[in-house]
Amino acid sequence: MKLDRVARTLLGVTALAWSIPFAQAAEPGEPGRSGLPGIVQPQATNAEFVKLDANRDGTLSRDEVRHLRDYDKRFAEADRNGDGRLDANESIMAHSLYERALVARVAADSFITAKVKTALLREKKLDSLDVSVETYRNEVLLSGFVKDETQRAKALQIASSVNGVERVKDGLAVRK
C-alpha cells in the first residue's frame, strides 16, 4: 500500500515535469514562437545567441561555446553548412538539441532515483524513510540516517543493484 502511493506520486511528479515546457509554449502570433508547443522560430536577435557571440561577428565558434558542457556534440549536429561556425539559425538548433539532451539526462537520473527509492522501500527489514536518494549522471548518493551498520550495508547493496546505477556514494549516518 505504501509502495503504491509512493509510485503514484513519483509518476505524477514525472508527468508534471514533462508537461511544463508544453504549458509554457506561447500562443500563435507571439514573436519568436510558432504556436506549437516547444517550437521556437529563428530570430536574428536571439538573446542567447547574442550573449554567446563574444566577438560579435554574427556567428558562434567552438571556442565561444566551449564552457558549455557537452555542447560540442550539439554544435557538430547543428552546423548544417559544415563551416565550423553557427549562424543565428544554426545556434537555435544547437541550443535546442543541447537542452533536449540535458532534459533527457535529468529525466534518466530522476528515473534512477525513483527506482532506487522504490527498491529501498520494498525492503521490509530496512527503515528507508529517513534515507534520501539523489542521482547525478548515473551516480547515486544515499544520505540520511539508518539504525545500524547492517542497514547501511543493506541500503548500499540495494542501491548498487538497481539497473542503471554506475556508482553509489555513501552519505549515510548511523543513529546512536
So what's the pLDDT on residue 128?
Answer: 84
d(C-alpha 58, C-alpha 61), whole Å: 10
Q: Does domain 109-174 have CATH number 3.40.190.10?
A: no
Give pLDDT, residue 16.
56
Taking residues 159-165, report their average pLDDT: 96
Beta strands across the sheet bearing 131-136: 131-136, 139-146, 167-174
Single-letter amino acid, residue 114: A
Give pLDDT, residue 4. 63
Amino acid 127: pLDDT: 84
Whether 114 and 121 have beta carbons less than 8 Å apart is answered as no
Tell if the pTM clears 0.85, that is, is over it.
no
- Average pLDDT value for residue range 109-134: 92
Interval 94-111 mean pLDDT: 91
Compute the distance between CA of residue 14 and CA of residue 34 in angstroms, rounded to an integer: 26
pLDDT of residue 8 exceeding 90, the answer is no
Instruction: Give yes or no for a contact between 22 and 16, defined as CB atoms under 8 angstroms apart.
Output: no
Q: What percent of the chain has pLDDT over 70?
A: 74
In the CATH scheme, what is the code of domain 2-105?
1.10.238
**Which of the residue ranges 10-19, 93-102, 131-140 would you say has the lowest mean pLDDT?**
10-19
Domain boundaries of the chain, sorted by first residue? 2-105, 109-174
List pLDDT tens digits, range 14-71: 665 665 555 544 444 444 444 455 555 444 457 888 888 899 998 999 999 999 888 8
End-to-end CA separation in angstroms for the chain: 30
Euclidean distance between CA atoms 71 and 99, whole angstroms? 10
